[in-house]
Structure 1
Amino acid sequence: MKRIVIKVGSSVITETTDIAKERMLNLVGLIAEARKKYEVILVSSGAVAAGYTAVQLNRKVPTSKKVLASLGQPILMSAYKNLFDIYDVTISQILLTEEDFDSRVHTQIVQDIIARTLRNDILPIVNENDISTTPDQLFGDNDQLSAHVAHHAGADMLIILSDIDGYYDSNPKDNPKAQIRKVVSNINENELEQKHTPNSEFASGGIVTKLKAAKYMMENNLEMFLCNGYDLTSAREFLMKNKHNKGTLFTTKKL
């Protein structure tokens, strides 16, 4: 059975003042379906945004952002548990930082924990532990965290569910004729120097962080698929039917 990592962004599962319940239910339904075909690891953003639904602190203040994360983690996990209970899926929470991948000992611990949860038919839900850590201990965005999780956990592919349909040949906000690049086999440095443009107040990255994640995956001979998380049609077709109608596949393999 292939192993995949599904990463979902804050903008997909939360709204300004609440959890996006319908989108979250659709996500959970897709994951429950995908688990019949794959071993699935979920990397979920959304703790800070979920915390903001309870208390409206200024997330631009570092300590306030950590408080929001501490508030939001149980809110987010409670929402996931209630929805996954519908499908009789047991979940666990794993909080990681960049330091968990900086030594053989730390990485082995993470690998063993994830492997054991999967062997016991548990869905691991991973997020960055940004509550008690310093900035230099963090990835700063879950796109790159998910790529490292995919590589070190022995996954075959990373699926990033975002607020965009894929990677365009130009900015679709500026160019109405912009086209999705269905397959990307190389990312140059100029692409990695684009301006970060997260669409959500609570998002920590933009297209650049996704490109960095894709580059890391391809450097390790793995694949990444970027698609829309609001409408999961593309993700479902790609994962369950092997159909690539929309979205961008980052791969070094010859198709």
Structure 2
Amino acid sequence: MDYRQKLKDHKRIVIKIGTSTVTYPNGRINLKRMEQLAWVLADLNNQGKDVVLVSSGAMGVGSADLGLTERPTEIRLKQAAASVGQASLIQIYKNFFNEYNQKVAQILLTKEDIKNEERRTTASTTFETLFRMQVVPIVNNNDAVATVNFEFSDNDTLSAVVANLIGADLLVLLTDIDALYDANPRKNPGAKRISVVEEVTDNILSMAGEKGSIFSVGGMETKLLAAKRCRESRTDMVIALGEDPRILNKIIEGEDIGTLFINKEFQK
């Protein structure tokens, strides 16, 4: 069965872009990539699709702005860096999206917003209202106020949670590696790309490698766990290289790019 051709029918899409994709290794923002991303997402919205962007990078940007050489571990420094970084990040996104007449909104979430039924319903309603108004929500973990007990450990998990919250058809993780491989392609030139995964087994989980940069949190392991969560919430997921955001159009058109993780209902 050609599962990828079914992606053309997906209407509600969450796109997550990782820290190592949206920033340079020094933590500064990759403006060219953000501008390309804004163009692609605005165009998807114009096609009538509901689009959500989960963007990493606030901590890295804030750390760089504050003169920190690596991701802070102390809570007060993390919160300070996130506060500075969020302001910079959302303003740049807003400026780029404005070029394409696309309105955006910022939504910051913690685990408590998802666990608490009333707050979860409120968050869901906010998303639905924004979709009806053709606004693109830009989501991130609320690091500025979240403590260890209430923050999401990484944005791969957050994006899967958001996909479940809004009933997304597809989650695309744009990252610094082009797919899941049966071995680490950076160390093993003979590693083979895995095109489709029907179930995230222990064997699949064992293929996880390292994370991308000193400012990032997740690695392949968090992406595979996100895929496992998506499978249960009836959301398909794709891991793909994020260096050219136009790859999103190719994924949605059914091209054999990256790794597609199929939700259990999609297989029927």
Question: TM-score, normalised to structure 2's length?
Answer: 0.89
For residues 251 and 203 of structure 2, what CA distance do their matches in structure 1 show?
A: 29
Aligned counterpart in structure 2 of residue 42 of structure 1, from 53, 56, 59: 53
How far did 1:204 drift? 0.9
Aligned counterpart in structure 2 of residue 20 of structure 1, from 3, 10, 30: 30
AA matched with 1:5:
V
For residues 17 and 95 of structure 1, what CA distance do their matches in structure 2 show?
A: 21
How do 1:75-90 residues align onto structure 2 when only pairs under 5 Å count? 75-90=88-103
Aligned counterpart in structure 2 of residue 2 of structure 1, from 8, 11, 25: 11
3-state DSSP class of the match of 1:126?
strand
Partner of 1:229: 242
Partner of 1:160: 173
Partner of 2:198: 185
How do 1:22-171 residues align onto structure 2 when only pairs under 5 Å count? 22-37=32-47, 38-57=49-68, 59-171=72-184
AA matched with 2:136:
L
For residues 13 and 84 of structure 1, what CA distance do their matches in structure 2 show?
A: 15
3-state DSSP class of the match of 1:226?
strand
Gaps of at least 5 residues in structure 1 are: none
Kindly indicate whether the alpha-carbon contact (under 8 Å) linking 1:228 and 1:235 is maintained by their aligned counterparts in 2. no
Kindly indicate whether the alpha-carbon contact (under 8 Å) linking 1:234 and 1:245 is maintained by their aligned counterparts in 2. no
Partner of 1:247: 258
Q: Percent identity?
A: 38
Question: TM-score, normalised to structure 1's length?
Answer: 0.93
For residues 33 and 230 of structure 1, what CA distance do their matches in structure 2 show?
A: 18
AA matched with 1:19:
I
For residues 135 and 181 of structure 1, what CA distance do their matches in structure 2 show?
A: 34
How far did 1:194 drift? 6.3
How far did 1:193 drift? 5.9
For residues 114 and 163 of structure 1, what CA distance do their matches in structure 2 show?
A: 28
3-state DSSP class of the match of 2:213?
coil
Query: 85-94 or 130-139, which moves further after superposition?
Result: 130-139
Give the root-mean-square deviation of aligned CA atoms. Answer: 1.8
Gaps of at least 5 residues in structure 2 are: 1-9
